[in-house]
């Protein structure tokens, strides 16, 4: 650690500053607050998905009643009222899911960008994607299927607490082998699966007309919601664990002076 580096106020972090990605400055900032907000919002996503699952069972109950032989010659006012209520509940659940997703995405990307910059301070020269892809990679079609995962892996490997940690890249000559990343791979697989399955299920739902078609589409939507819940739970674990790793490494003094070649200068006091 640099002799005159002082901890950033309220964090215990030494404010090391290096030029890591395309000449952009990088300095340590605590990801703890953003991680708490992110995990809380991911919890809201889970709650919205659970509400959607319940609303789906209400819709399916009405569809089953509509298919009953008792209503072969028409539907009573009570049943029509139940159908309208079920449709409203499911529409509300969709709006809640969309609102929770947007809010979570904004805060998650703020956290993701912060841990990426921190990772550049820890290990400035092992990131395979430029810093701009940390946010932009989520929005570019096709690229968004693997760039964010690759960036997450680089951040994780740069944030391990010890060079001997099992997730640390092991360099063998010109080749670099990486240990498995089950948490990141599991989260990313479920996230991508929920996206594809959700789009297919949504398309089927909007095209459904008969009660059988609506019931089948709702079942697909509910499966998509279940995938999304599982992805959100793994995302919470990923956010919490990576944040703990970076917090521990920063407090241990790592990153006060970035390793490897390249121009380095110390941050102004109090950064």
**Would you say residue 268 lies in a domain?**
no
**Would you say residue 213 lies in a domain?**
yes
| Each residue's pLDDT tens digit, 56-106 | 999 999 888 877 666 554 566 777 888 899 999 999 999 999 999 999 999
**Would you say residue 235 lies in a domain?**
yes
Q: What gap in Å lies between CA 198 and CA 239, rounded to an integer?
A: 23
**Would you say residue 200 lies in a domain?**
yes
The sign of the torsion formed by the CA atoms of 33, 36, 40, 43 equals positive
Q: Which H or E run includes 159? A: helix 147-159
How many domains, in total, are found in the chain?
1
Instruction: Look at residue 167 in the predicted model and tell me its pLDDT.
Output: 47
**Would you say residue 42 lies in a domain?**
yes
Query: DSSP label at 171?
Result: E
- Which residues touch 120 (CB under 8 Å, ≥6 apart)? 18, 20, 21, 26, 127, 131, 158, 258
Q: What is the mean pLDDT of residues 192-198?
A: 95
**pTM given for the model:** 0.81
**Would you say residue 165 lies in a domain?**
yes
| Each residue's pLDDT tens digit, 112-130 | 999 999 999 998 888 999 9
Domain carrying residue 108 = 18-250
Residue scoring higher pLDDT (165 or 44): 44
- Tell me the range of 111-115, 174-178, 253-257, 266-270 where mean pLDDT is highest: 111-115
Distances (CA, A) of 221 to 89, 207, 218, 229: 14, 13, 5, 12
**Would you say residue 139 lies in a domain?**
yes
Instruction: Give the pair of three-digit tokens for residue 230.
Output: 């599982």
**Would you say residue 130 lies in a domain?**
yes
| Model confidence at 5: pLDDT above 80 | no
């Amino acid at each position: 650690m640099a002799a005159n580096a002082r901890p950033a106020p309220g964090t215990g972090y030494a404010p090391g500053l290096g030029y890591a990605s395309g000449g952009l400055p990088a300095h340590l900032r605590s990801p703890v607050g953003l991680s708490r907000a992110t995990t809380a919002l991911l919890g809201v996503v889970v709650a919205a998905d659970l509400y959607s699952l319940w609303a789906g069972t209400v819709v399916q109950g009405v569809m089953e009643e509509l298919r009953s032989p008792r209503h072969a010659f028409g539907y009573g006012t009570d049943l029509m009222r139940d159908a309208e209520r079920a449709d409203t509940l499911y529409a509300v659940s969709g709006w809640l899911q969309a609102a929770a997703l947007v809010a979570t995405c904004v805060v998650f990307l703020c956290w993701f960008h912060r841990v990426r910059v921190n990772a550049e301070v820890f290990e400035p020269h092992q990131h395979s994607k430029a810093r701009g892809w940390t946010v932009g990679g989520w929005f570019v079609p096709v690229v968004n299927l693997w760039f964010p995962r690759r960036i997450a892996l680089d951040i994780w490997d740069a944030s391990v607490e010890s060079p001997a940690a099992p997730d640390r890249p092991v360099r063998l000559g010109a080749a670099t082998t990486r240990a498995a990343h089950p948490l990141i791979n599991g989260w990313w697989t479920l996230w991508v699966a929920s996206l594809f399955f959700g789009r297919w299920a949504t398309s089927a739902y909007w095209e459904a007309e008969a009660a059988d078609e609506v019931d089948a589409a709702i079942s697909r939507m509910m499966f998509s919601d279940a995938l999304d819940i599982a992805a959100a739970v793994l995302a919470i674990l990923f956010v919490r664990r990576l944040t703990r790793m970076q917090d521990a490494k920063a407090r241990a003094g790592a990153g006060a002076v970035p390793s490897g070649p390249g121009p380095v200068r110390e941050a102004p006091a109090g950064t």
